[in-house]
Amino acid sequence: MVRLFLSGDGPQSRILGAILLLILFCLAFAPFLFPGTRSLETAARICIFIVLVASYDLLLGYAGIVSFAHTMFFGLGAYGVAITTQRMGTSYESLILGTMAGAGIAAVLALVIALFSLRVRAIFFAMITLAVASAVAVLVSQLSAITGGEDGMNIRIPRELTPAFRPFDEPVLGVRFSGRHLNYYLVFFTCLILFLGMLRIVNSPFGRVLQAIRENAFRAEAIGYRVIWYRVTATILSAVVAALAGSVFAVWLRYVGPATTLGVEIMLDILLIVVIGGMGTMYGAVVGTAIFVLAQNYLKDWMGGASDAVGFMPLLPDLLSPDRWLMWLGILFILSVYFFPTGIVGRLRGVT
């Protein structure tokens, strides 16, 4: 079954294969390997952003479409769950209905944007998506009666997915298992299925045509492929997967707001991760997200320890001050682009 999903697209490198297996192992057993609320939060965010970044890579890396509206679809999925649970109450049915509603609205909106915009040049399409995403973000902030405005909305989820639920009286492998852990594994397996599904899509005949269109759209159209149809389909698929990732994120976080799902910073993070991991690889989403999210969450702490360790030396403690973590994150990004122009995965695939 896994071989069917992978469709022959292996890591093509022992080093990359080992890294991917390590990431999969760490995420699968994160509650037991890295106990603690912060570690579990980091692992869940990695899972969700792998799917979100991979869905954007489907659009940018495989179809060659530059869009700045990806966080809009992510937010639609999150708000779909939040609004539905607020109206229908706490139940699995409301979560499923909200997820389906968010994905459906994202698909319709992606279809409208694609049909009206994909015939123009790439830069103009990017500007149109940016304008639509900005308009939706403003609309969400203004419709406070429905969306909670700038304050956002708290989401009520079934008790079985909250820390209050204790399915076992005794610790499991040394961990006091709770509904929070069940929620994490809901996130993990949902994201795993979505990622494998996208991996299968990009290695199907449909994915091969997308890559041909990315390389030369005129040639692809000349040999009989309906370029617009393929681009529209890719846009819709990407939007639906992003919306599903947003729904999972909302269930995990139990809160949704403009800053957590619709912020420009999230779009910039997605772009950075795609470039760091490697465009048009899918596996780049896994490696890039793991590195980026870990740096976001722990680089500041690591720098604090390093600053204390070199406290006896001049200048270095100030350079390694935790307050400068964002500067070092930017330096790491510049170095990764310089030494890995095709992304980390692209570079590692050249090493057997």
Q: What is the pTM of this model?
A: 0.91
pLDDT of residue 105: 95
Is 89 in contact with 255 (CB distance < 8 Å)? Answer: no
Show the domain range for 93: 2-348
CATH number (domain holding residue 42):
1.10.3470
**pLDDT at 180 exceeding the cut of 60:** yes
Distances from the Cα of 57 to the Cαs of 67, 171, 312, in angstroms? 11, 40, 46
If one counts the domains in the chain, the total is: 1
Could you read off the pLDDT of 258-304 as tens digits, one per residue? 988 888 889 989 988 998 888 888 999 999 999 989 888 887 777 77
Query: CA 232, CA 240: separation in Å to the nearest integer?
Result: 12
Amino acid 106: pLDDT: 95
Determine how many CB atoms are found less than 10 A away from the CB of residue 145.
7
Residue 228 has pLDDT above 80, yes or no: yes
Closest CA to 260 of 7, 75, 109: 75
> Rounded CA gap, 159 and 140, in Å?
28
Mean residue pLDDT across the chain = 86
Residue 191 CA, distance from chain mean position: 9
Return the half-sphere exposure (C-beta side, CA atoms, 13 A cut-off) of residue 281: 28
Vertex 43 angle, CA 40 and 47, to 5° = 135
- Given a cut of 70, is residue 157 above it in pLDDT? yes
H or E segment to which residue 255 belongs: strand 255-256
Per-position b or e across 253-280, b if 16+ CB within 10 A of its CB: bbbbbbebbbeeebbebbbbbbbbbbbb
- For residue 2, pLDDT over 60 is answered with no
Alpha-carbon span 66 to 341, nearest angstrom: 18
CB 213 within 8 A of CB 223: no
**Whole-angstrom distance, CA of residue 68 vs CA of residue 44:** 24
Residue 248 confidence (pLDDT)? 96
